[in-house]
Structure 1
Amino acid sequence: MKENTKKITAMVLSLIMATGMMTGCGGGNKNASGMKKSEKSNDFIMDNGGTVRPDEETKTSENNDFENHYSENAEIEINTEEYNYYAENSFLSVAEHPLSTFSTDVDTASFTNVRRMLENRQAIDPNAVRAEEFINYFNYEYNYPDGDDKIAINTELSDCPWNSDAKLMQIGLQAKDIDVQDIDSNIVFLIDVSGSMADENKLPLVTQAFAMLAENLGENDRISIVTYAGRDTIELEGESGANYETIASTLAGLSAGGSTAGAAGINTAYELAEKYFIKGGNNRVILATDGDLNVGLSSEEELKALIEEKRDKGVFLSVLGFGMGNYKDNKLEALADNGNGNYAYIDSVEEAERVLVTEMSGTMFTVAKDAKIQVEFNPANVAYYRLVGYENRLLEDQDFEDDTKDAGDVGAAQQVTALYEIIMTDAKAESDDSKRTLKYQDDVEYPAPEKINETDLDKELLTVSVRYKEKDEDESKLIDKAVKLASYVSKEEMSENMKLACAAAMFAKTLGNSEDKFTMAEIRDYAKGLHLDAEELLKMIAIYEEDYENNTSNSQQ
């Protein structure tokens, strides 16, 4: 079928379906600007050691009157959105903690979800802000890997904008770009069609998003569609990607109603993914939902256990979040983090196109799975450090070399960016006893003594190590890169990569659970005038400056 015909068909079917749903299903959370908020904190919080413990109190907050500026008679609705609380990472002593270990994260849901709150002039829930997802929303100019490597390590050392006593280290992982044209896909669209999905920014947007993805499929690709409400239903099974009209018309015929038995749908979706499994292909379940599960397995821990059973079957998971008012970010993040998956929030047709069309190779085609980062700091030069974000991605140091431990997955040409605040020292600190032989300790065995001498080590600040597995393999590969003191560049020489990452981090800190707060003018100084694409960040800065900055009591609870 010709591309233009596909596009016309998709537009007509989407309009018919959207019109029918808006007249037949009624409203829902249509007036987000008039919401009152009463948000219960979730069951688990992460402390700085990376462990999970029960939250000891219920957090509640209410939006203030400025949210109702669109309408004096705005409909008041209860906001039951759920987000996990994570305390900001604290500084750690290199003498006591020479290693910093965490799982990679390519998710962007937090950034887009908070953008939705800003555009609707809602109070910003600080628990919705995850700094690493703000940083990783943007594309940077990193060097690509050489040879057979699937990941390259990029680093930069400069001054820290928010801490004059610290340096800032940027770590950027760049995944290999691959030609996906010859890779066949076996995709299961798993769609929540429960009553809570009736709003126009939910199921109608879901079907438009999947229709756009389906336009890019071919004869050898296989598409199945599973829906779930009070029960799960197979709407389409193993259809060729060439039959676009069949796929699009099936999507257009979906309607919302009933309760939400998500676990049943997940089981059925994975069964179909296994039935039509393509060896060496892209086998993936794409879940589209607001996360408001209320039948069967529905708690965060139950869903985590369920998805952990599925992840070793060679089927990857993409989680797409939709809607507002009853959005359950905590459950969707748990599914993506524990199911060999990635997580994005779709707030518009444009964002759907970005995730599923423009960046399809990264979203859909994994090149490195269970990717983990470990940084070893040299106590001769570093006294303290702090990782910016990744609070819910922290790993035990011994997990780095344990190939049975699940970690993040990185798609074709995707990037992972992390920032460290670093406090320098002039004196070598005493090290603790570690099960791993460390590079910068007295019993140096890594690398071999004959390859490097103490003088060379004294010139090093840290070493970044990355472990990852090939998509179809179970044994990890190790790559590393030493960062020397001489690599430091001043604030004035800072690259655009670091300026953009700094701006994203500063904005996240201002909106989230951080003691560091900044004016929008301070953040804009780092984001403006870049040839890198910072447009979305600058738009959000402008909204915050106009409607929130002088109303901090209204916007921050």
Structure 2
Amino acid sequence: MHTTKLLTTAVTTTLFTTAFLTACSTPHQNTDANNQASSSNVITPSNSQLQAETKIASLDTIASAPRVLPKQMGSNSYHVMPPMPMPPSVQNHENYQDNKANPVHRTIEDAISTFSIDTDTGSYANVRRFLNDGQLPPTDAVRYEELINYFNYDFTNAMRKNNAPFKVSLETVKAPWKATNNIIKVAIKSTDEISDGASRTLPPSNLVFLVDVSGSMSSKDKLAMAKSSLKMLTKQLRKQDTISLITYAGNTEIVLPATQGNQQAKILAAIDRLNASGSTNGEAAIKLAYQQAKQNFKKDGINRILMLTDGDFNVGVSSTDEMLDIIKRNRDNGVSLSTFGFGTGNYNEHMMEQVADNGNGNYSYIDSVNEAKKALIDEMSATFNTVAKDVKVQVEFNPATISEWRLIGYENRILADEDFNNDKVDAGELGAGKSVVALFEVTPVGQKGYLNTSRYQATTSKPTTDMSNELGYLKIRYKAPQGSKSKLLEYPIVNSVNTPSNDLKFALAVAGYGQLLKGSKYTGSWTYNDVANYAKQGLSKDPLGTRHEFVKLVKLADALK
């Protein structure tokens, strides 16, 4: 983990420096000896950035947070509002986990990939925020799987086995950025579809709103946005739901004890009273939130803490590990914790993601009211209602047919191979109606890959009887939401290269976009224009307008490069 200092630029503004409270957290447990944040550079405007401003100005519509206007009478199209004017330049101190892309593996040396699913989407909205502010994101802010899984997919060839709460879809297609390589898609799709009436079909909910009201939350893109988000969610509540509201700054306070969801005027009034001041005592707040959730626990219902903050914990927690220990001790009691990130400047994304991952919840970044609507209303079932927990994926590649492979994304979700069968090892949760996609780039035996040929080791393996037509073998483990023992599903990956579905074309476009943003060495001659053209083939099903908006973001990234 390191602290990245960024400088948002505008063409006509004068640069100035602003002091911020710096988020305090120690490095992730897998990092090296340095327990202090590494020094980093301030990015100042370059000639290329100034040239980019001219290119941006030429775009018909600059992409923004998904400000999708309702369909007009007699129209079948959605409209995306232009962005707000670019704010004055400020110096930012934002915190991201080191995030280096997965390497290429030689199959005869390492044939197995094991990882947890990831349904977080925060990286996509956070990257969008940087682009809309006129600069490329820091590479550590780009997580491929969160970009891809921001979108919902409807894979028609999905298979359901043994009454699992999800279907599995497998596709093998040509890699769009390297003609001699293939892409193997592994997709998991919940059998419970997202619907407009999701709140009516959800189990009774016990929700604790845990809101950061410290001084760092005073800007309009933080507490004001958080309050708007909670108001939208409040209007979806029912009599069978229970809501509590806790605030934290230097001290913690129960602003609203457990209240029935149909008492919306009372809940909205409590939200309206929130104001920002003071420092941030995150540890005491989380402890109190879990206490409140346990007091109002709903058996067979949804019990979840919604933490709304910029992640700037500066009192009460001496280390990230201390914070996570509190969360781990509580997650097995049936109370999950989701984080919703707000704002810029001192944003601590590393903390936000770790808290949600260890709390068996979701991490979302809210850069607009419309993103809040997407996360809390449009995809309410996926955000709150878990249909499978501790979902793990393991793929074993056949060295007789695959010489090299790499997993695109999931870098901070990699598991040891032996952890796949260990039910004590935590993994990601799958929400109702949610789809999760993992993409592998593979090199068929006989084709030139990325790695040099080994001098002393055989380059091929004799195929095992009756398995020469397999590219690999997929295993998935999952638990029921209240279960403790995992169930196993198995699927052969057949050696058959097909034409990609439109959904897969779109997912590949998003993967290419992420790799270009990160400066990947694996995309060959692929350009942002290629990404946009590929994405346009998957725009037919786009009820929220997010896929069309993605194409605009690609053009914006191209202008800023």
Shorter-chain TM range is: 0.7 to 0.9
Query: Aligned ranges for residues 315-354 of structure 1 at < 5 Å?
Result: 315-354=335-374
Moved more, 52-61 or 493-502: 52-61
Instruction: Give the CA deviation at 1:302.
Output: 2.5
Query: Aligned ranges for residues 34-183 of structure 1 at < 5 Å?
Result: 44=27, 51-54=30-33, 57-64=38-45, 66=49, 76-142=89-155, 143=158, 145=160, 148-177=163-192, 181=201, 183=203
Distance of 1:37 and 1:507 partners within structure 2: 32
**Alpha carbons of 1:362 and 1:131: their partners in 2 closer, same or farther (altered >3 Å)?**
same
Instruction: Give the CA deviation at 1:224.
Output: 0.3
CA contact (8 A) 2:24 2:319 kept: no
Tell me which residue corresponds to 2:309: 289
Instruction: Give the CA deviation at 1:304.
Output: 2.1
| Alignment equivalent of 2:557, drawn from 540, 544, 547 | 544
Tell me which residue corresponds to 1:520: 528
Tell me which residue corresponds to 2:508: 502
2:224 aligned with 1:243: no
Distance of 2:9 and 2:446 partners within structure 1: 54
**Alpha carbons of 1:58 and 1:315: their partners in 2 closer, same or farther (altered >3 Å)?**
same
Instruction: Give the CA deviation at 1:313.
Output: 1.3
Which structure has greater helix proportion?
1
Moved more, 159-168 or 254-263: 159-168
Indicate the SS of the match to 2:293: helix
CA contact (8 A) 1:45 1:54 kept: no
Instruction: Give the CA deviation at 1:301.
Output: 2.5
Matched AA of 2:400: A
Tell me which residue corresponds to 1:378: 398
Moved more, 310-319 or 357-366: 310-319
Distance of 2:17 and 2:489 partners within structure 1: 47
**Alpha carbons of 1:45 and 1:248: their partners in 2 closer, same or farther (altered >3 Å)?**
closer
Instruction: Give the CA deviation at 1:537.
Output: 1.3
Query: Aligned ranges for residues 17-32 of structure 1 at < 5 Å?
Result: none
Query: Aligned ranges for residues 323-472 of structure 1 at < 5 Å?
Result: 323-425=343-445, 454-472=464-482
Distance of 1:306 and 1:60 partners within structure 2: 34
CA contact (8 A) 1:37 1:63 kept: no
Give CA-to-partner distance per residue, 1:348-387, whole Å, 9 cap, x none: 1111111000100000101111111000111111111100
Distance of 2:436 and 2:417 partners within structure 1: 20
Distance of 1:40 and 1:317 partners within structure 2: 20
Distance of 2:369 and 2:160 partners within structure 1: 33
Matched AA of 2:511: A
Matched AA of 2:385: F
Distance of 1:405 and 1:92 partners within structure 2: 24
Distance of 2:330 and 2:307 partners within structure 1: 14
Instruction: Give the CA deviation at 1:61.
Output: 3.5
Indicate the SS of the match to 2:347: coil
Tell me which residue corresponds to 1:4: none
**Alpha carbons of 1:314 and 1:32: their partners in 2 closer, same or farther (altered >3 Å)?**
farther
Distance of 2:383 and 2:491 partners within structure 1: 27
Q: Which runs of 5+ in 1 are unaligned?
A: 1-28, 428-440, 443-452, 553-557
Instruction: Give the CA deviation at 1:238.
Output: 1.0
Matched AA of 1:458: S
**Alpha carbons of 1:42 and 1:204: their partners in 2 closer, same or farther (altered >3 Å)?**
closer
CA contact (8 A) 1:145 1:175 kept: no
**Alpha carbons of 1:41 and 1:95: their partners in 2 closer, same or farther (altered >3 Å)?**
farther
CA contact (8 A) 1:320 1:345 kept: yes
Distance of 2:522 and 2:209 partners within structure 1: 41
CA contact (8 A) 1:156 1:169 kept: yes
Distance of 1:344 and 1:303 partners within structure 2: 19
Distance of 1:284 and 1:74 partners within structure 2: 35
Distance of 1:298 and 1:31 partners within structure 2: 30
CA contact (8 A) 2:169 2:186 kept: yes
What fraction of aligned residue pairs are identical, expressed as a percent? 37
CA contact (8 A) 2:23 2:314 kept: no
Tell me which residue corresponds to 1:192: 212
Distance of 1:253 and 1:303 partners within structure 2: 28
Matched AA of 1:63: T
Distance of 1:227 and 1:188 partners within structure 2: 10
Give CA-to-partner distance per residue, 1:224-250, whole Å, 9 cap, x none: 000000011001111000101111111
Instruction: Give the CA deviation at 1:123.
Output: 4.0
Distance of 2:334 and 2:25 partners within structure 1: 31
Q: Which runs of 5+ in 2 are unaligned?
A: 1-5, 58-85, 448-460
Matched AA of 1:268: L
Moved more, 59-68 or 462-471: 59-68
Matched AA of 1:267: K
Distance of 2:105 and 2:98 partners within structure 1: 21
Query: Aligned ranges for residues 179-258 of structure 1 at < 5 Å?
Result: 181=201, 183-258=203-278
Give CA-to-partner distance per residue, 1:376-415, whole Å, 9 cap, x none: 1111111111000111110000000000001101100111
Tell me which residue corresponds to 1:8: none
Distance of 1:392 and 1:41 partners within structure 2: 21
Matched AA of 2:250: G
CA contact (8 A) 1:171 1:418 kept: yes
Distance of 1:169 and 1:505 partners within structure 2: 13
Distance of 1:472 and 1:59 partners within structure 2: 44
Matched AA of 1:53: D
CA contact (8 A) 2:8 2:91 kept: no
Distance of 2:420 and 2:487 partners within structure 1: 11
Matched AA of 2:536: K
Matched AA of 1:62: I
Give CA-to-partner distance per residue, 1:283-339, whole Å, 9 cap, x none: 000000000110011533222222212211110111100101111001101101111
CA contact (8 A) 1:187 1:223 kept: yes
**Alpha carbons of 1:119 and 1:275: their partners in 2 closer, same or farther (altered >3 Å)?**
same
For these two proteins, the number of residue pairs brought into alignment is: 490
**Alpha carbons of 1:339 and 1:32: their partners in 2 closer, same or farther (altered >3 Å)?**
farther
Distance of 2:103 and 2:17 partners within structure 1: 29
Matched AA of 1:89: N
**Alpha carbons of 1:30 and 1:96: their partners in 2 closer, same or farther (altered >3 Å)?**
closer
CA contact (8 A) 2:8 2:135 kept: no
Tell me which residue corresponds to 1:437: none
Give CA-to-partner distance per residue, 1:108-142, whole Å, 9 cap, x none: 10010010111111342111111111111111112
Matched AA of 1:472: Q
**Alpha carbons of 1:363 and 1:74: their partners in 2 closer, same or farther (altered >3 Å)?**
closer
Distance of 2:230 and 2:467 partners within structure 1: 52
Instruction: Give the CA deviation at 1:259.
Output: 0.3
CA contact (8 A) 1:222 1:239 kept: yes
Indicate the SS of the match to 1:161: coil
**Alpha carbons of 1:133 and 1:63: their partners in 2 closer, same or farther (altered >3 Å)?**
farther
Matched AA of 1:515: K
Moved more, 379-388 or 169-178: 169-178
Instruction: Give the CA deviation at 1:482.
Output: 0.8
Tell me which residue corresponds to 1:445: none
CA contact (8 A) 1:30 1:199 kept: no
Give CA-to-partner distance per residue, 1:127-174, whole Å, 9 cap, x none: 111111111111111237466211221111011122233111111101
